[in-house]
């Protein structure tokens, strides 16, 4: 089902007993982070801080903090359900018979729900603040970690468009509040909005920007999804919701924003202007250093009446962004398999903050097949940032890290099964000796073939597996053993 807005989803969580209201005053400087971190690690509920100190509206946080809650936010029971829908739409078979035609028409009908729908009036513009009335201090920005450079307005959905083609981009970037009317735009080197800004600067033009907070969960997730530049995030959000997203024209910039957003900021980036941004305690678990980034000057701030501000705390895993990353892993599996068909499944461990490590299982068919897959993964979108790729056979459960470790530790001759290379790494990677690129490793933990040079007598040994009849017998008699 589609949630009309953030409030509708919070109401659902409240009724399900999965939302806790913190009614006492809480300081957004450090105190919120310590509370949220403990709740996340306990698998606890979403939180609504009703009285954040120094702000004028409540703060919703940890809204996506479990896989079950992330699935509910996207209207499914399991995150894999969305990947299944995508996989069915990608199947290229021609329809056979009436049933096949009906199925094909059903797939096509899904597409009618995708394009966003423009509306003339919207709740997000019920309250309008302009010029000197704009005050970002009304928002409960979080100073998450002791050495952070100040308050950050995270989980904002940043809207830009290409100055030449007009193509829209929706992205999620951290936003440092510099003063009551200015935020820093931390968009990284690989991001589409950064490319839009570069084109605008080359043309000597200002870039219009709109930032929406507290959108419906599908839209918020879509802003974080690693979609190709030519795919509109709002088409994807419509697919997730099975309903069109309603959008309204901004008041002062030539952009559109979700009609049911809680808060919207509108402004312009001046060409050439940079302000030091950071430090920031990031999802890597380390502080990222101060760097110059564009500064957005807010001309207009609009909001709903009695809005709820949605934020997020990031830091050393586990944190709320973990289930968001897991959603991306499961949803995009069919697309990964379309690019690299021999992949059976993959896992992006949260401890590797989803881009440092990829565990991949394959149907191995020929010598050095694992190495072929490694290079394909290093050429696949944002998976190109993976620093470690572990390739296992199809019968290995990539989500069982104990089994993966057993394969990776025992099935590898590091003189033959290790691939090392250099390539792009994440902007936030602190371990690479040079920013933006560094060393990468691929580990071939598959069974080795004679044609790969494994010449030992008898070939690759057979795994120890118990006789299935004995397993069944022991299962039937388990209570007799008194265990």
Give residue-wise pLDDT tens across range 326-375.
999 999 999 899 999 999 999 999 999 888 999 999 999 999 999 999 99
- Least confident span in 82-91, 102-111, 138-147, 447-456: 102-111
CA distances from 64 to 43, 353, 437 (A): 11, 16, 31
- Least confident span in 112-126, 300-314, 433-447, 461-475: 112-126
What pLDDT does residue 1 have?
A: 67
Residue 105 pLDDT > 70 = no
What pLDDT does residue 2 have?
A: 82
Catalytic site positions: 282
Residue 297 pLDDT > 60 = yes
178-208 confidence digits (pLDDT tens): 999 999 999 888 788 899 999 999 999 999 9
pLDDT band for position 102 (50/70/90)?
very low
Residue 45 pLDDT > 90 = yes
- Rounded Cα–Cα distance for residues 227 and 233 (Å): 7
Residue 177 pLDDT > 90 = yes
Residue 229 pLDDT > 80 = no
Cα atoms in the 13 Å half-sphere on the side-chain side of 19: 20
Cβ neighbours for 414, distance < 8 A, ≥ 6 positions apart? none
Tokens representing residue 419 in the block: 């691939």
Q: Is the dihedral of CA 147, 153, 156, 158 positive or negative?
A: negative
- Rounded Cα–Cα distance for residues 191 and 187 (Å): 6
Q: Are 157 and 148 in contact (CB under 8 A)?
A: no
What pLDDT does residue 188 have?
A: 83
CA distances from 388 to 41, 330, 419, 432 (A): 26, 19, 10, 13
Nearest to 142 by CA among 59, 19, 38: 59
What pLDDT does residue 93 have?
A: 55
Q: How far, in whole angstroms, is CA 255 from its chain's centroid?
A: 23
- Return the ∠ at Cα 167 (arms to 104 and 3), rounded to 5°: 60
Q: Are 3 and 12 in contact (CB under 8 A)?
A: yes
Residue 381 pLDDT > 70 = yes
In the numeric block, the tokens 């919703």 are attached to 60
Global pTM value: 0.91
What pLDDT does residue 101 have?
A: 41
pLDDT band for position 400 (50/70/90)?
very high
In the numeric block, the tokens 């290093």 are attached to 378
Specify the DSSP class assigned to residue 244.
P
Residue 112 pLDDT > 90 = no
What pLDDT does residue 191 have?
A: 83
What pLDDT does residue 98 have?
A: 45
CA distances from 431 to 173, 317, 356 (A): 21, 17, 11
What pLDDT does residue 87 have?
A: 86
- Rounded Cα–Cα distance for residues 303 and 134 (Å): 11
| Mean pLDDT, all residues of the chain | 93
């Amino acid at each position: 089902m589609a949630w009309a807005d953030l409030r509708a989803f919070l109401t659902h969580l409240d009724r399900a007993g999965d939302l806790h209201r913190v009614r006492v005053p809480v300081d957004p400087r450090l105190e919120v982070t310590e509370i949220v971190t403990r709740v996340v690690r306990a698998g606890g509920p979403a939180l609504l801080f009703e009285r954040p100190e120094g702000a004028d509206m409540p703060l919703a946080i940890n809204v996506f903090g479990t896989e079950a809650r992330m699935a509910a936010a996207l209207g499914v029971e399991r995150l894999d359900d969305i990947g299944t829908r995508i996989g069915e739409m990608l199947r290229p078979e021609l329809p056979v018979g009436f049933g096949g035609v009906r199925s094909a028409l059903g797939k096509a009908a899904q597409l009618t729900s995708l394009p966003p729908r423009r509306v003339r009036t919207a709740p997000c513009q019920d309250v309008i603040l302009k010029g000197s009335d704009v005050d970002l201090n009304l928002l409960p920005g979080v100073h998450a970690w002791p050495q952070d450079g100040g308050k950050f307005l995270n989980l904002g959905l940043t809207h830009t468009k290409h100055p030449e083609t007009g193509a829209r981009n929706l992205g999620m970037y951290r936003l440092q509040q510099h003063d009551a009317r200015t935020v820093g735009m931390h968009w990284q080197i690989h991001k589409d909005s950064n490319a839009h800004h570069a084109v605008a600067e080359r043309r000597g033009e200002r870039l219009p920007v709109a930032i929406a907070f507290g959108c419906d969960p599908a839209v918020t997730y879509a802003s974080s999804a690693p979609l190709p530049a030519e795919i509109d995030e709002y088409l994807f959000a419509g697919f997730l919701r099975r309903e069109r997203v309603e959008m309204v024209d901004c008041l002062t910039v030539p952009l559109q924003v979700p009609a049911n957003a809680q808060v919207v900021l509108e402004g312009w980036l001046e060409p050439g202007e940079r302000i030091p941004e950071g430090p920031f305690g990031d999802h890597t678990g380390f502080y990222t250093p101060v760097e110059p980034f564009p500064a957005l000057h807010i001309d207009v701030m609009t909001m709903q009446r009695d809005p709820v501000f949605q934020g997020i705390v990031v830091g050393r895993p586990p944190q709320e962004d973990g289930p968001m990353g897991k959603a991306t892993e499961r949803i995009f599996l069919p697309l990964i398999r379309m690019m690299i068909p021999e992949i059976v499944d993959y896992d992006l461990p949260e401890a590797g903050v989803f881009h440092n490590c990829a565990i991949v299982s394959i149907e191995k068919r020929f010598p050095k097949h694992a190495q072929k897959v490694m290079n394909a993964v290093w050429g696949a979108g944002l998976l190109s940032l993976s620093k470690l790729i572990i390739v296992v056979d199809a019968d290995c459960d990539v989500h069982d890290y104990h089994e993966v470790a057993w394969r990776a530790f025992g099935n590898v001759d590091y003189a033959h099964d290790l691939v090392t290379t250099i390539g792009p790494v994440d902007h936030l990677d602190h371990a690479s000796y040079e920013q933006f690129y560094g060393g990468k490793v691929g580990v071939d933990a598959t069974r080795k073939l004679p044609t790969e040079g494994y010449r030992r007598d008898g070939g690759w040994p057979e795994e120890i597996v118990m006789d299935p009849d004995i397993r069944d017998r022991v299962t039937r008699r388990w209570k007799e053993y008194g265990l």
